[in-house]
Amino acid sequence: MKCFKILLFAVCIHISLATKLKERFSWKEVSYAWTSDQQKTEAITDGRYKSENNLILGLDVWKDKLFITVPRWKSGVASSLNYVNLSSTEQSPSLIPYPSWETNTVFADVSKGPERLGGRADAPSAQVVNGQLHDNASIISTFRIQVDECDRLWVMDCGLADILGEPKLIAKPALVIFDLNTDTLIRRYTFSDSDVVQNSFLANVIVDVPKQQCDNAYAYVPDLGGYGVVVYSFKENKSWRVKHNYFHFDPLEGDFLVGGVNFQWTDGVFGMALGKQTNEGTRDVYFHALASTKEFSVPNYVLQNETRATSPQNYNDFKLVGDRGVNGQSTAEAVHEKTNVLFYTQVNKDSIGCWNINKEFNLDKQGLVDSDGTALVFPNDLKIDRNDNLWILSDRLPVYMYKKLDPEQYNYRILSGPINELILGTPCE
C-alpha cells in the first residue's frame, strides 16, 4: 500500500510537470531589428520610438515565423506587425517588421478637429486624420492576426494610432491579407460605414476556410465596443454586420483584478473560436464577451448567410454553451480539432483553461492547463499551430494601461507546449 502511494505521488508529479507551458521568449521592453543605428537614433529623436510604449499583444505561428503584434496604444510604436524567428536562441530577440519597415511606417497629416470614431470607451475622442498611406499594404495598428490553412496572414487593422493618448484615425478599419509564401499583399478590404457603429472597436479576426476551398473563406470580426460581429466573404469581397444580445457584456462581470490593478471594463464580444469542421464545411463558432464568464455558439452557416444572419429572427440560432465560473473572464480561445479541446485564457486567474467540446460545459468538465502568477499575468492571446502546440502571449496590459511597467522586470512572455501533454490528467483529455 505504501509503495502504491509513492507510485501514485510520482505519477501526479509527472503529470504536473508535463502540463506546464514552457517559456520561449520574454522581454523587459520591446526592441526592433533596426536597419542601422542611425535609423534607431532618428526614430527616438523624432518620437517615433519610445521603448516603454511598445506592448506586444497578439501572435500566430507559420513555419519558422512567430508573428507578434504591437498595437499603437500610445505614441512611439515603431512597428505594429512583426515577427521573430522560432529558431532564434535569444531570450529577447528584436522584432522584425513584416513584411517591411515601409509597410509599418505611418504617414499622416493631422489637420482636422476631434470626432468620435472608435476605440476603447475609456479613451479620449479620436481625431480625423488625412491619412497618407504608403500603399494598400500599410499597417497602422493591429491587435490580432490569424494565419489560415492557405498560407495567408489575415491582419485586422483598426486604423487608430495613439489610442490611449490623442487618438488619430489614420485609416478606416480594414482587413489586410498577405501571401506568406511570397510576403506580398493579396488584398486590403476596408470596412464600410454600415459595418461600424459609435464606439466600434474591431481588433480581432477569426478565419473560417472550408476544406480545400481557399477562395471561399470567411472572416469573423468581433466588435467589442459596438457589441456586434462583422462577417466578411473573401469570395464575394463584401461584409455584413450581425447583431445579437449575446454579443454584449455581462454587467455583473466587468470587475477585474490583474497584476495588483483593479479596473472595470465593458468590453463585449472578443474571444472567438472555430469548432470541428464537418465534411460539408459546417461547424460551430464559439464566442464570448471579454467582460463575461459565459460561452456561446452559433453555426457558421448562419453567420455566412447574410439574409439569415442580419434578420431580427436570428435569435434562436445562437445558443448558450455554459459558464466558466467566478473570475472566468477570457480574452482569447481556440479549438484543437484533433482532440476536440477548446483552450481559453483566464485573465483574472493568471491561467489557461480547457474544455472538451464533446462534454457538458460545466465546472466539473473544465480543466486547468497552467497557472502562474508571474509568467501568466494577463494572458492576452492564444493560438494553436500546425504541429499541435499551444501558444500563449502574456503582457501585463492593465499595468501598462493604468500604472507603469517596470523596465527592470520581464513584462512580456510567449510560452508554448504540446497539446497532448498539456491536457494529460485534466478533464479535457
Question: What confidence tens digit (pLDDT) does each residue in 188-209 have?
Answer: 999 999 999 999 999 999 999 9
The domain that holds 117 is classified in CATH as 2.120.10.30
First-to-final CA distance of the chain: 28
Give mean pLDDT, residues 364-390. 97
Task: Measure the CA–CA gap between 398 and 380, rounded to whole angstroms.
Answer: 11
Asked whether the predicted pLDDT for residue 225 surpasses 60, the reply is: yes
From 19-33, 111-125, 213-227, the region with the lowest mean pLDDT? 111-125
Q: Is residue 117 part of a domain?
A: yes
Cβ atoms of 126 and 169 within 8 Å: the answer is yes
- Indicate whether 25 belongs to any domain: no
pLDDT at position 107, please?
62
In single-letter form, the type of residue at position 257 comes to L
Per-residue model confidence (pLDDT) at position 122: 44
Taking residues 96-123, what's their average pLDDT? 62
- Into how many domains does the chain fold? 1
* Whether 160 contacts 132, CB under 8 Å: no
Q: Is residue 227 part of a domain?
A: no
- Tell me if 331 is assigned to some domain: no
Residue 240 CB neighbour total at 10 angstroms: 19
Question: Residues with Cβ < 8 Å from 73, sequence gap 6 or more?
Answer: 53, 55, 162, 163, 164, 400, 401
Which one has a higher pLDDT value, 180 or 115?
Answer: 180
Question: Do the domain assignments include residue 175?
Answer: yes
Strand 127-128 versus strand 168-169 pairing type: parallel
In a domain, 146, yes or no: yes
Average pLDDT over residues 105-109: 65
Residue 18 has pLDDT above 80, yes or no: no
Judge whether residue 14 has pLDDT over 90: no
Q: Residue 259: what pLDDT?
A: 95
Q: From start to end of 166-283, where are the E strands?
A: 168-169, 174-179, 184-190, 206-208, 218-223, 228-233, 238-243, 255-258, 261-264, 269-274
pTM score, whole prediction: 0.92
Instruction: Assess if residue 352 is contained within a domain.
Output: no
Distance CA 49, CA 44 (A): 5
Kindly state whether residue 53 falls inside one of the protein's structural domains: yes
Mean pLDDT, residues 240-257 taken together: 98
Judged against a pLDDT cut of 60, whether residue 186 lies above it is answered with yes
CB atoms inside a 10 Å sphere around CB 423: 23
Domain coverage including residue 111: 31-190
Could you report the per-residue pLDDT of 124-159, keeping only the tens digit for each? 444 545 545 557 889 999 999 999 999 999 999 999
What was the pLDDT predicted at 338?
Answer: 96
